[in-house]
Amino acid sequence: MTDRVSPLRPDRACLRERGQATVEFALVLPLIVFGMLAILQVGLVVRDQVAVVHAAREAARAASVRDDPVRAARRVLRRAEVHVGARPAVGQPITVEVTYHDRTDVPMVGALFPDLDLHARAVMRVER
């Protein structure tokens, strides 16, 4: 009688390797999920920084043509804090600074990243 393995039935070594792969996957999966959530959190902070820069530009544009810079910035970013410099003569630059408190609240990784204060400054010439 020969010890042949049936092609339809896997041998014990193959079953053990399959179990080993499952255990390794179970150990690595939390690290992969954690890494993906950290990348998501960084992406959200970058998105908010772009929004802060856009709000500063909109507010500077509004201030340069005698419109309300605070309202213009808050159309882009609701909780933005807007600081407008003194209004100079026509043709001179006016400076607007926008600050935004960004909360990092992605589950599992939000606690590792501190909340940030994002800043942007825009300068435009006064048109009227």
pLDDT tens per residue, range 62-79? 999 989 999 999 999 999
- Looking at the domain assignment, is residue 89 inside a domain? yes
Walk across the sheet containing 81-84 and list its strands.
81-84, 93-102, 116-125
* Average pLDDT of every residue of the chain: 89
Name the phi and psi angles at 110, rounded to 5: -60, -35
75 located within any domain? yes
Q: Please indicate, yes or no, if residue 1 is contained in any of the structural domains.
A: no
On whether residue 32 sits in a domain, the answer given is yes
Number of compact structural domains in the chain = 1
pTM above 0.75, yes or no: yes
Residue 4 located in a structural domain: no
Q: Is the pLDDT of residue 50 over 90?
A: yes
Evaluate whether residue 110 is within a structural domain. Answer: yes
Is 6 domain-assigned? no
Give the integer Cα–Cα distance in Å for 89 and 28.
Answer: 63
